[in-house]
Chain A
Amino acid sequence: AQTVTQSQPEMSVQEAETVTLSCTYDTSENNYYLFWYKQPPSRQMILVIRQEAYKQQNATENRFSVNFQKAAKSFSLKISDSQLGDTAMYFCAFMTSFELIFGQGTELSVKP
């Protein structure tokens, strides 16, 4: 079975600092995608960043970047220059065909 594990239930960071959220996954597949979704208090699921497993280069989207270690099955999210609006639940997710398999989430609080 494919699983996604986020070992940090809660994290906090000061505004303007950098924070890294961890994610590990387990699969026997070679071709897959990994995602980070943000869920603010509004409950809306928002795609933050996406990584294709066959690409060695780490994905970046403005202040968000990932550290993808395929051999270690690790996919961490780095948020630089944290902003108050980054306060949210963050979910790591894995996709082989069409189904998204989610981790349990990390609740991030950005403090002023």
Chain B
Amino acid sequence: NAGVTQTPKFRILKIGQSMTLQCAQDMNHNYMYWYRQDPGMGLKLIYYSVGAGITDKGEVPNGYNVSRSTTEDFPLRLELAAPSQTSVYFCASSYSFAQGNEQFFGPGTRLTVL
């Protein structure tokens, strides 16, 4: 199993550009998450999904959109990139929503907006 995969690993965007960060998992997990990690900080939840067709906002959703058309994929869309979105983005998945269930993380995407 590849686990959770993310593409690209690195990206530089200009202000106002758009892009999609890809995330896929092959563990048949229903639950998927997007986090961002700013320099020197812990991760913060952007969006999450409890299954195909169902998504909801986390702590810091502004400037992002998500979709979940399949169990495996959970892309994150930035429509109008801003310097404040410079961060490392992590996708994660878990088997259940149960309290304490382990979330498995992808390797991250480092995004710089100039």
Interface of A toward B, CB cutoff 8 Å: 4, 9, 31-33, 42-45, 47, 50, 52, 91, 93, 95-105
Contacts and interface: CB of A to CB of B under 8 A. Distances in A.
* Contact residues on B (Cβ < 8 Å of other chain), bracket: 20 to 34
10 contacts: A43-B107, A44-B107, A45-B43, A93-B42, A97-B99, A98-B99, A100-B43, A102-B41, A102-B43, A104-B42
Contact of B105 (A45, A50, A99): A45
B74 interface: no
Contact of A99 (B42, B58, B108): B58
Secondary structure of the A contact surface, majority rule? loop
Interface string B10-50: 00000000000000000000010001000011111100100
A96 B100 CA distance: 8
A71 B48 CA distance: 31
Contact of B44 (A33, A96, A102): A102
